[in-house]
Amino acid sequence: MNFTLRYDLGCTEAVLHESGSLLAFQQAAHLLHKNLSIKFHQKQDDFDGANWDFKYKGHQLRLQYNVYHGISIFPANMEQATEKDNKTVEYLLHKLQGKADKKVQLQNAPA
């Protein structure tokens, strides 16, 4: 998996999948919940996307799926995101990258 950071929303956005499916979104949510004990407290599902809000290390963040833009994580209040909110998104991306890399290594290991 190749995660990237974008900054064009006025805050830091961790892009998990640029053309992700609803299934990939659900897998990302499961990864966050299972490996980082994240609980989603507000879920908005629509016909072309989903926004699931959660708190991580005291910061309000959003896992978003959009059929046009893929799957990403960013501060829930983008316009008023603080530097600490943005750094938390970067930190979370690096944690997820490590978890995904380990999973890929295990899947690709010889039997």
Q: pLDDT tens digits for 20-64?
A: 888 989 989 998 999 899 999 999 999 899 999 999 999 999 999
Q: For residue 103, what pLDDT band results from cuts at 50, 70 and 90?
A: low
Answer yes or no: are the C-beta atoms of 63 and 32 closer than 8 Å. Answer: yes
CA gap 99, 111 in Å, rounded: 21
Q: Helix (H, G, I), strand (E, B), or coil: what is residue 108? A: helix
What's the pLDDT at 98? Answer: 78
Q: Helix (H, G, I), strand (E, B), or coil: what is residue 21? A: coil
Q: pLDDT tens digits for 66-84?
A: 998 899 999 999 989 999 9
